[in-house]
């Protein structure tokens, strides 16, 4: 059970991509005071948690209403993860610079940076109302919250080059997971390949 929770939490954490988001958050909020920075991070993370919780609790209902199967959504999620992973591997942070005119509110920090479409697709395929799924989600969320709260200090200590390398590594792991999801989904839908 602990292994399952840890593996799920790690996957969700990779999709939240706190290290990849750090340069964006720091560039958008870097000029704000430490108190404002912390408040915005906590607020946006809570908004993202609400969206993730809704996806976990209502995901199967939405699937039924749209006449989608878990396997097909998992295949779509795998494709999205693959694209996200590839983008993480080859990402640059130069496009994130710039101070917004207004304080960011839900978009783009909570959605889609913390809680993007790939994360939602994976959450919907998790066992609904499962204690393991909820625990993994909360664990991943707490870790990403801690990383983002320490964002200014972490970015200074690690430097942009290390953050870029870390995000590329996370992207490589994510592409491997996504390929496995795609193959498993194709096997489940069409009965192709081994068990």
| Adjacent-strand bridge partners of 107 | 105
- Provide the residue-wise pLDDT of the chain in tens; the chain has 195 residues: 678 899 999 999 999 989 888 877 877 787 788 899 999 999 999 999 999 999 898 887 887 888 877 778 778 877 887 887 888 788 755 444 444 446 777 877 898 889 987 788 889 888 766 889 999 999 999 999 999 999 888 777 888 788 778 778 878 887 888 888 888 888 888 887 654
* DSSP state string for 60-108: HHHHHHTT--HHHHHHHHHHHHHHHHHHHHT--SGGG----SS--BSBT
Q: Residue 75 contacts by C-beta under 8 Å, 6 or more apart in sequence?
A: 181, 182, 185, 186, 189
CA distance 75 to 5: 22
Q: What is the pTM of this model?
A: 0.74
């Amino acid at each position: 059970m602990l292994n399952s929770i840890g593996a799920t939490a790690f996957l969700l954490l990779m999709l939240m991509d706190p290290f990849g988001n750090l340069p964006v958050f720091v560039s958008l909020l870097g000029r704000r005071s430490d108190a404002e920075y912390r408040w915005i991070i906590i607020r946006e993370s809570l908004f993202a948690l609400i969206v993730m919780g809704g996806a976990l609790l209502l995901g199967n209902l939405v699937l039924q209403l749209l006449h989608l199967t878990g396997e097909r959504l998992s295949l779509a999620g795998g494709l999205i993860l693959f694209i996200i992973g590839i983008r993480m591997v080859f990402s640059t942070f130069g496009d994130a610079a710039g101070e917004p005119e207004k304080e960011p509110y839900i978009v783009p920090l909570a959605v889609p940076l913390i809680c993007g479409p790939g994360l939602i697709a994976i959450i919907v395929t998790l066992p609904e109302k499962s204690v393991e799924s909820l625990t993994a989600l909360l664990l991943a969320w707490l870790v990403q919250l801690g990383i983002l709260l320490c964002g200014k200090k972490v970015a200074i200590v690690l430097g942009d080059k290390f953050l870029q390398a870390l995000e590329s590594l996370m992207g490589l792991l994510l592409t491997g997971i996504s390929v496995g999801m795609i193959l498993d989904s194709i096997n489940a839908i069409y009965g192709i390949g081994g068990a």
